[in-house]
Structure formats: structure tokens, C-alpha cells
Chains A and B, each alone.
Chain A
Amino acid sequence: DVKVTQSSRYLVKRTGEKVFLECVQDMDHENMFWYRQDPGLGLRLIYFSYDVKMKEKGDIPEGYSVSREKKERFSLILESASTNQTSMYLCASSPRGGLSPTYEQYFGPGTRLTVT
């Protein structure tokens, strides 16, 4: 079974703090993704990565950065946390896309971040 794990289920941080969210997958997937999930807005892509040291902006990258130093690990960084970044953060991984019939994204359990 594919496993995507996230470092924390719940996190409370103060405004202005630097926050690190970690994600690890154990299936040797090339692609990794960070989303935030908010009620009524669905999932919105923050950043994704197709390979080690590669990163691409998603739809809402402002206020976030990412790091992918190893294939299995993809970190999301909030440089200076703000209250509007209070949300559920979901990490996902997938094998390389294109025409692969087995392609799908596998999700972690999520980190509920509260910024006060």
C-alpha cells in the first residue's frame, strides 16, 4: 500500500513564525504536491514537484515556499505565518504523469494548521 505521511496532524503557530510542514512518501513516486483545503473552496494547489530539487508554483503559491532535497520528502514552508493561512494542508504523491494508466494521486492524512 502506498503511504503518504505528514509530520503533524495538528499544529498551532503564532503570527510571524516560520512553519515547516513535512511530507514523506514510500512508493518512489516522482511527483509530489501540496494543497490547502478550505470549506467551500475544495483543494487548491500550492506547489508541486516533478523531481528532486524541482518545484513549480501552483494556483496559490504566495506566502509559501517548498523544498525537495530527497525524492521521498517534500516540505512546505510558511515563511511568516499569517492568520489567513489557517487551513488544512494536504500532501499527495503520484507516479510520473502523462499517459500512464495507473496514474492517481495518493494523499496523506493532512495537517490542520491554526495560526493565532
Chain B
Amino acid sequence: AQSVSQHNHHVILSEAASLELGCNYSYGGTVNLFWYVQYPGQHLQLLLKYFSGDPLVKGIKGFEAEFIKSKFSFNLRKPSVQWSDTAEYFCAVKRGGSQGNLIFGKGTKLSVKP
């Protein structure tokens, strides 16, 4: 069965530290990849997405992610985190050509200390 693995359950950083959240998926075919964020008390919202082309994708709020096909990975990065980045982050995968189902990872909670 397809799966999405997020390596860290909870990450704690100080402001200005660099962030990298890992995401690996198990499906071998064409995929579309997403990172969603859920700020405390708010809706899940899209941070960034990859469909094709440049494997380095830039999203909102200074986030970026790199698709490495050979490693089945789509890690999320930010050079310098802020307290306002405290949230839960979810990686998701959609198989190319499928109707629309996303498979989500279990999420990584990020806590940024001021």
C-alpha cells in the first residue's frame, strides 16, 4: 500500500534557526506532492505543491521544498524560522492521473521558541 512518512513527530527550534522537515513516499510512479500547514485553531492550508518541472518548489511565507525522485523524498525547508511558523505540517502525495485522492503523512508539529 502507498504510504507517506514524515520523519519527525515534533520539532522544537529557536527563532532564526533553519528548518528541514523530511517526507518520503512509497509510490513508484508519477506523483504530485504537497505540503500543507495547520496553524493553531486554523484551517489546513496549502504551503506549496509540485507537479512537474523544476524540482525545487517555492511556496508561501519563505518555505521551499525539493523533490528528489531517486530518493522518493519531498523535504520542506526554510532558512530562518519565526515564532509565527509554529504549526503542524503535513506532507501529502497524489498519484499522477488519479482522480484526486491525497495520501497524508502523520504530520510534524513545529514549535518555534521566541
Contacts and interface: CB of A to CB of B under 8 A. Distances in A.
Nearest to B105: A42
A11 to B, nearest CB: 17
Contacts of A58: 101
B51 interface: yes
Interface in A28-58: 31, 33, 35, 40-45, 48, 50, 58
A110 B101 CA distance: 19
Given A99-B96, A103-B100, A42 B106 contact: yes
B104 A43 contact: yes
B99 A50 contact: yes
User: Chain B interface mostly helix, strand, loop or mixed?
Assistant: loop
Contacts of A98: 97-99
A61 interface: no
Given A101-B51, A104-B34, A110 B9 contact: no
B8 interface: no
Interface stretch (A17-25, A65-73, A74-82, A89-97): A89-97
Contact of A107 (B44, B97, B106): B44
B68 interface: no
Given A44-B104, A58-B101, A97-B99, 16 more contacts: A33-B101, A42-B6, A42-B105, A42-B106, A43-B104, A48-B100, A48-B101, A50-B99, A90-B44, A94-B100, A97-B98, A98-B99, A99-B97, A103-B32, A107-B43, A107-B44
Interface of B: 6, 9, 32, 34, 36, 42-46, 49, 51, 90, 94, 96-102, 104-107
